[in-house]
Amino acid sequence: MVDVSGKGATRRSARAQAFVQIRPEALARIRRLRLPKGNPLEIARIAGIAAAKRTADLIPLCHPLPLTYIDVEASLCENGIQISTRVTAASKTGVEMEALTAAAVAALTVYDMCKAADPAMTITDLFLVEKTGGRRGHYRRGLGFMKK
């Protein structure tokens, strides 16, 4: 692990997203909540929150962080389910991995919940949208780091 003992704790936040591409027939079943395991959107939300809290147990060399806020949204779209996450903490290191882990596990949970309806689902577009705080400052996908 990187030594962060000399750094001061600052407010950190990160947003990430992922997408689960699903065939129209399976999406119709999801909209009608006709799946044996229940509502995949709600279970994916809970799984993403739990995953963010356990990131240091899943990703080697990640610092365990006292997270102060976790939000996971799973939304039905025309051709799948969009996962969006936001994580915050007052810490000495960033929360990017927690936001990304939440998005990845939420997407995997959608796959698990819906695989009987569509085993050909594809998880795509897992990426960091934005991060704030820390020495390097504010980063936004497509724009890079913003000037302080």
Distance CA 78, CA 91 (A): 38
112 is catalytic: yes
Distance CA 83, CA 147 (A): 29
CA 94, 99, 104, 109 torsion: positive or negative? positive
Catalytic residue among 3, 57, 71, 112: 112
Task: Tokens 């806020």: give the residue.
Answer: 69
Q: Which residues are catalytic?
A: 112
